[in-house]
A = this chain, B = another copy of it.
Amino acid sequence: MHDRDLHYLREAIALARAGMDRNDGGPFGCVIVKDDEIIGSGNNRVTSSNDPTAHAEVVAIREACRALGSFQLDGCTLYTSCEPCPMCLGAIYWARPDRVVYAGARQDAAAAGFDDQLIYNELPLPPAERRLPMEQALRQEACAVFEAWGRKADKTAY
């Protein structure tokens, strides 16, 4: 790991602390870097914005994508103060940065009261076996829309 990586990772940790001190939300921060420039940053704003998706990584990804005018983060590195939760990791896979550098581990977040591990445990289970009740219906009606997507000539894939 290069010194620049540690510099940007410390920026993410500083955002975590500053957001916590402002009562924006939980103690998490993130910066996204392309060509040695920060193009997006964020800290957790769940409780202050009443948005359960406003984790640091999601906030930073949205900002970086706005800055690039793209829904993909090619050539970017995402620095986050803690190992991403499953929601954020999913967002990272969809945004497709080149790499991720993180500081705290999920166990550290759990010790601080953030139970990412429950979600990590639930996701691999079949839907019917999760603690969250999940039921399926109307599969054929949904598939009809997917078939229309397959036939659509002017679609933008992602």
A residues engaging B (CB < 8 A)?
Answer: 1, 5-6, 9-10, 13, 16-17, 20, 23, 25-27, 46-47, 50-53, 58, 61-62, 65-66, 68-72, 81-83, 85-96, 98-105, 108-109, 111-113, 118-120, 122-124, 127, 132-139, 141-143, 145-150, 152, 154-158
Contact = CB atoms under 8 A, between A and B. Distances in A.
Contacts of A71: 46-47, 50-52
Nearest to A17: B145
A90 B92 contact: no
25 contacts: A5-B137, A13-B138, A17-B148, A20-B149, A23-B154, A26-B158, A46-B71, A50-B66, A50-B71, A51-B62, A51-B65, A52-B158, A53-B53, A53-B94, A83-B127, A85-B94, A87-B94, A93-B122, A93-B132, A100-B135, A105-B139, A109-B146, A112-B146, A120-B123, A123-B124
A65 B50 contact: yes
Given A90-B86, A150-B112, A99 B50 contact: no
Contacts of A92: 132
A16 to B, nearest CB: 5
Given A27-B148, A90-B88, A142-B16, A95 B52 contact: yes
A102 to B, nearest CB: 6
| Closest CB pairs A-B (n = 6) | A87-B90, A104-B142, A103-B142, A112-B146, A86-B90, A99-B133
